[in-house]
Amino acid sequence: MAKITLSIIKADIGSIGGHIKPSQKLLETVENYVKEKGRGFIIDYYVGFTGDDVAILTTHKRGVLNPKIHKLCWDAFLAGTKVAKAQGLYGAGQDLLVSAFSGNVKGMGPQVAETEIEERPAEPFLMFAADKTEPGAFNLPLYLSFADPMHCAGLILAPTIKKGFKWVIMDVAYTKADRVIELVTPEESYDVAALLRDNGRFVVESIWSRETQEQIVSASTTRLHNIAGKYVGKDDPVMLVRAQKDFPATGEILSPYTIGHFVSGFMRGSHTGPLMPVKKNSPISYFDGPPIVSCLAFSIKNGKLTEPADCFDQPYWDYVRTKISQKAEEIRRQGFSGAAMLSMSELEYTGVMETLKELEKRFKVRRK
Ligand code: F6R
Ligand code: MG
Ligand code: MG
């Protein structure tokens, strides 16, 4: 059977009233573009939003990093940007960092997660999209879903899962090329943890089954401020995760999102906030946040998608959201102090540097 490629490409191309959400007209324009211009070479598609970001999921047979697929999404974002400009939306075209398309959108601003699969008889997969945070936000949940039996019961109960996983982790501080390491769990799980503790530096790029050699996870690793060299918004990642059978179950993959772990992002991409699992097409609000993550589950047959099942639209997650709101409120109570605001190297607004430079001149060393 021919292989099927799943591609998620996501970008912030403008939103209503600040960084709340894209307009209906913008979304329709992006969706219609993909539908019309993708005819004949994409099998199926889904367009939705998470906070101020629009995500395009396509299924096709052209493999990963395919120029035609990437150009389709890039041009759909350009069409959406035109609408954003005409409507006066905020941050129109924000994530389209270069003026001309060249080959694929990696390194051009949008976030990308893709995988080419041999469809299993039943092929459930999850599409994650996060806003007001960074790619490392998926580090902890992935570790817990794939290496910790406290969340992944399959590590104890299912022999094929117990065999463990291969991790490909990227050093995103290295900008000249892709710098990656391969590690296996369970044998090297402490080494994986040693890297994944540093969300700003090391990011999971993919996870593979040691039982079947198949790719299970593909996550985006692009850091916009490494590309642009200046503040252009946070890097709001996307991720594809295949589920069930020889892979962790959907519920095991969702389980860690009950924590609302603290991540970088929030207001001005410069604060710490808890990651809140939200329903599909949720806006951003409190303190340009909180950092949010949506998750849509799909099934697929010969590349044809079902409608999405909204994983965080269930009463349990209302309770989780209330608890995470309390965490958000708690850290916001300390405003700019200490752990609430990011360290100098992670700040995305550099105005404070100029203030410090000015103040530097006024410091005096007291002679004893
Ligand atoms: C964070 C984000 C917002 C903006 C903030 C200020 O990712 O997009 O928090 O940083 O709204 O935006 P400007 O400086 O454009 O007014
Ligand atoms: Mg934005
Ligand atoms: Mg965003």
Cis, peptide link before residue 186, omega less than 30° from 0: yes
Residue 267: CB within 6 Å of ligand 1? Answer: yes
For the chain, counts of helices (H) and of strands (E):
10, 16
pLDDT higher than threshold 70 for residue 273: yes
**pLDDT of 227 over the 90 cut:** no
231 is catalytic: yes
pLDDT of residue 187: 98
Is the pLDDT score of 355 beyond 70? Answer: yes
Atom of ligand 1 lying closest to residue 267 CA: 9
Cβ neighbour number for residue 360 with a 10 Å cutoff: 8
Q: What is the pLDDT of residues 312-354, one digit of tens each?
A: 999 999 999 999 999 999 999 999 999 999 988 777 777 888 8
Check if 316 is active-site.
Answer: no
Which of 220-229, 279-288, 348-357 bottoms out in mean pLDDT, i.e. has the lowest?
220-229
Which amino acid residue places its CA nearest to atom 10 of ligand 1? 268
pLDDT at residue 97 tops 90 = no
| Contact (CB, 8 A) for 303 and 134 | no
Q: What are the residues whose beta carbons fall under 8 Å from the beta carbon of 212, sequence distance 6 or more?
A: 160, 246
Res 233: pLDDT: 55
Q: Which ligand is nearest to the CA of 265?
A: 1
Average pLDDT over residues 256-269: 96
pLDDT tens profile 98-111: 888 888 888 888 99
pLDDT value at 368 more than 90: no
As a dihedral over the C-alpha atoms of residue 238, residue 272, residue 146, residue 294, rounded to 10 degrees, the angle is: -40
Residue that has been written with the tokens 């790619």 in this structure:
135
The CA-atom distances, in angstroms, between 74 and each of 7, 224, 328, 330 are 13, 16, 34, 40
**Contact present, 145 and 152 (Cβ < 8 Å):** yes
**pTM, full prediction:** 0.96
- pLDDT tens for each residue of 32-89: 999 999 999 999 999 999 999 999 999 999 999 999 999 999 999 999 999 999 999 9
Query: How high is the pLDDT of residue 347?
Result: 77
Catalytic one of 82, 191, 198, 231: 231
Say what angle helices 67-87 and 24-37 make with each other, to 10 degrees.
Answer: 150
